[in-house]
Structure 1
Amino acid sequence: MSDPGSAPAGPLHARRPGRASRRFLIAANVVVALLLVASGLVYGYTRYTLGHIHTGSSKGLASAGESGVDRKQGYNGLPPENILLIGNQSRAGQNVNFGNAALNSSPLADVIMLLHLDPRDRTASLLSIPRDLFSPMPAGSPVGSWQKINAALNDGRLGINNLVTAIHDDFGITINHYVEVDFNGFLQTVNALNGIRMDFPERLYDAYSGLDINHTGCQLIHGQQALALVRSRHLQYDPPGVSPSDPAAWPYDPESDLARIVRDHTFVKVLATTAEEKGIGNPVTAANFLSAVTNQLTIDPQLKSELIPLIVRYHTVNPAAAPARTFPVTAVNNYYFDGYNAGDVLFPSEPADLHAIRAWDAGSLPAPVQPRAVEVYDAANTPGLAARTGAALRADGFHVSLEAEGRDPGSVSETVVQYHPGQVPMGIAVLEKLNGAVVMQASKSVPAGTVIVQAGTTFSVQSPTTPTTSTTAPASSTSSTAAGTATSTTTTTTVPSPGGQIPTSAQDQVTPYDPRPC
């Protein structure tokens, strides 16, 4: 996504900056730290390097103030904003361990994080979207109508716009800006800081990513091993009682990508602290750092124009203290959908996902708006499902105008809340009443003012008296239900899930073998 016609960043003068310039550099590096992501998402700049940051299309991005009605007021013209941070899996320019441009020319979003910045409170928070979350793709997407969310980036020069649209349409999240970087940008950024220090309680190994941490304790890792760590999805660790000389015998981390997200959140904070403390301490290091990051990024034009105000406002923020959350999900292995094998995928889990989004940014979702009509289709081949679902939605106050049979895309399927493009608030009004594997989708085939529920195999409808203070998974069964299973006398809402799984936590669950700050 970079602009090959852009000139390289000019060198910084190798002299100690004056007091005012030093304060500017400190502020720049703190904001740089805020915009770090596990795969190296970072933008660094000074006034004379801004022109060398590559810009891409702004299609699909929301203007400031387009979010929900509860969004906090801004500060001195700087609004609260959500920035999509993308780690591009394109391996161009890397060694054989990470493939080559000829064999890996199709980009995927290896890391997807959303950064919320609130200028009034000077706060920042992160929300990670698992790359394997199975979701509808925007209309006309070259990867098909449904795919893992990371595949939305695979749309040539419009890939970023495709990913922005998918996140907004499927989950209702407003995105104002984006920052994208690839493997080469990550390596150069870490190496420009002369590495980062992390504490490893156990030795770690990943034959796929090239990770090889062969001793425990606090240690310095450079770009190649740092990249291998944040990309590790097949992590093995050396626990007590297992042969220490044979990594192949070590147990695997059972959580794969979800565990990687937790490690990435830790890495973000360590890298952020390093950039703040070390990045400007030496003029040469500062020059290398700023040069590395400015040449490896693609951002939207509006964000480029806001960089200086962002520096000024957020220079006192401690990036290591920023809270980090992840979409709660459940897993389906070897998933067949609509006749093709999608591999191992993750399903969303409501209402936990809505809770996670609102805890991350209370104003990122618009206020719900009651649709004029709701149509219900049975997409699970379950006798009576459409009628039961329609009755439950009527009890929740919706005007259900149609109940009919649909089609079954898979033996286990998500429930899809379809709405007319631009009418996300109506989709959210219905989504809020559904539990389990439920996702939204914008569709031009849906009449304006109408919401269509394609009822899948793993969901339930909340009853008017269902409390939503906590969620649990059922003990067993993945069959559909159309009535809320909790009553006004309990504080628990039953959440249907594949195989009766308990949805993952939105909060990071750190394991004893996960690395941590020194």
Structure 2
Amino acid sequence: MPVFDAYSGLNIPRAGCVHLDGYHALQVVRARHLQYRPASVTTTNHAYWPYELQSDLGRINRDHEFLRVLASSVAKQGLGNPVTDFRLVNSVAGQLEFDNAFTTSDMVHLLLTFHSAKINSAPQLTIPVSVGPNTSYIYAGYPKGEIEFPSLVPDLHAIDQFLQISPDTNTLTGQPLPRPSAVTVSVVNGSGVANIAATTLSSLEALGFRGAGTGNTPVLASQLET
């Protein structure tokens, strides 16, 4: 369908397959204020087109798709042939920034190693994050650069798996986590929901924690209540 982004400059007025040169491809991968024209909207006035409302998450998904298409196009040149691989690497190396220890020979080695990989089946993740006042962290005892922690627990597990970090490791210190049996917990119910403290404590005990009883605390009123 037709799409538009006033910030990136993207403007594709017609539905269907469109060939993008490098300049217009950048407009696609940078778009995070995307508007689209569904079949129910007939006007070409962008003011009446709805927004995608996914911001960076939508942009990341488009980046994934762009890289998948680009990789498929490159693969059609016959990767796995050292001559072809050297020619490809030398044609793009001048436009890339990479670590001094990472040479063009290393790039060719990667192409030779992964040339038969199935691009469309490669796992890709788009991970919502919790943004705090500081985004520079030590992850698993090692500096991993700027890290914004995922807001969903399964995504944390995915990062641990990618970094080959044991689930028993404290991701802030890199040290082993204490065994649940070495931790004593008590649960105080301030939710206003009956018996929730006992239910929560039972769940923790099932995980191996030592229970120390339950209690209740006054329920704080919401600011919306009068």
* Shorter-chain TM-score range: 0.5 to 0.7
SS in structure 2 at match of 1:229: helix
TM-score of the aligned structures, taking structure 1 as reference length:
0.29
Q: Which residue of 2 aligns with 1:314?
A: 114
Query: What amino acid is aligned across from residue 75 of structure 2 in structure 1?
Result: E
4+ residue runs of structure 1 moved beyond 4 angstroms? 285-292, 483-487
User: Against the structure 1 CA distance between its residues 241 and 347, is the aligned structure 2 distance closer, same or farther, given a 3 Å change threshold?
Assistant: farther
Q: Does the CA-based 8 Å contact 1:368-1:425 persist in structure 2?
A: no
Q: Does the CA-based 8 Å contact 1:367-1:425 persist in structure 2?
A: no
User: Against the structure 1 CA distance between its residues 303 and 368, is the aligned structure 2 distance closer, same or farther, given a 3 Å change threshold?
Assistant: farther
Deviation at 1:251, TM superposition (A): 0.8
Q: Which residue of 2 aligns with 1:425?
A: 174
Q: Does the CA-based 8 Å contact 2:57-2:128 persist in structure 1?
A: no
The C-alpha deviation readout for 1:108-142, integer Å capped at 9, x for no partner, is xxxxxxxxxxxxxxxxxxxxxxxxxxxxxxxxxxx
CA RMSD of aligned residues (A): 4.0
Deviation at 1:486, TM superposition (A): 8.0
Q: Which structure dedicates a bigger proportion of its chain to strand?
A: 1
Report which structure shows greater RCO (CA 8 Å, sep ≥6): 1
Q: Does the CA-based 8 Å contact 1:279-1:289 persist in structure 2?
A: no
Deviation at 1:286, TM superposition (A): 9.1
Q: Which residue of 1 aligns with 2:24?
A: 225
- 2-structure distance, mates of 1:207, 1:484: 52
Q: Which residue of 2 aligns with 1:388?
A: none
SS in structure 2 at match of 1:219: coil
Query: What amino acid is aligned across from residue 121 of structure 2 in structure 1?
Result: A
Q: Which residue of 1 aligns with 2:126?
A: 326
The C-alpha deviation readout for 1:450-490, integer Å capped at 9, x for no partner, is xxxxxxxxxxxxx79xxxxxxxxxxx9xxxxxx9958549x
Unaligned runs of 5+ in 2: 135-147, 192-197, 205-226
Q: Which residue of 2 aligns with 1:264?
A: 63
The C-alpha deviation readout for 1:417-438, integer Å capped at 9, x for no partner, is 8x5xxxx323x738xx9xxxxx
Q: Which residue of 1 aligns with 2:155?
A: 353
SS in structure 1 at match of 2:50: coil
TM-score of the aligned structures, taking structure 2 as reference length:
0.60
User: Against the structure 1 CA distance between its residues 487 and 274, is the aligned structure 2 distance closer, same or farther, given a 3 Å change threshold?
Assistant: farther
The C-alpha deviation readout for 1:357-396, integer Å capped at 9, x for no partner, is 145x2x53256457xxxxxxxxxxxxxxxxxxxxxxxxxx
User: Against the structure 1 CA distance between its residues 286 and 203, is the aligned structure 2 distance closer, same or farther, given a 3 Å change threshold?
Assistant: farther
- 2-structure distance, mates of 1:270, 1:263: 11
- Match runs of 1:184-263 below 5 Å: 202-263=1-62
Deviation at 1:353, TM superposition (A): 2.8
User: Against the structure 1 CA distance between its residues 356 and 244, is the aligned structure 2 distance closer, same or farther, given a 3 Å change threshold?
Assistant: farther
Q: Does the CA-based 8 Å contact 1:327-1:356 persist in structure 2?
A: no
- 1-structure distance, mates of 2:201, 2:49: 43
Q: Does the CA-based 8 Å contact 2:89-2:108 persist in structure 1?
A: no
User: Against the structure 1 CA distance between its residues 240 and 252, is the aligned structure 2 distance closer, same or farther, given a 3 Å change threshold?
Assistant: same
SS in structure 1 at match of 2:125: strand
Deviation at 1:267, TM superposition (A): 1.1
Deviation at 1:219, TM superposition (A): 2.0
Deviation at 1:253, TM superposition (A): 1.0
Q: Which structure dedicates a bigger proportion of its chain to helix?
A: 2
Which protein shows a greater Rg? 2
User: Against the structure 1 CA distance between its residues 258 and 310, is the aligned structure 2 distance closer, same or farther, given a 3 Å change threshold?
Assistant: same
How many residue pairs align between the two structures?
172
Q: Does the CA-based 8 Å contact 2:86-2:108 persist in structure 1?
A: no
Unaligned runs of 5+ in 1: 1-201, 339-345, 371-416, 434-462, 465-475, 477-482, 490-518
Q: Which residue of 1 aligns with 2:211?
A: none
Percent of aligned positions that are identical = 37
- 1-structure distance, mates of 2:107, 2:119: 17
Q: Does the CA-based 8 Å contact 1:204-1:212 persist in structure 2?
A: yes
- 1-structure distance, mates of 2:67, 2:202: 42
Q: Does the CA-based 8 Å contact 2:33-2:52 persist in structure 1?
A: yes
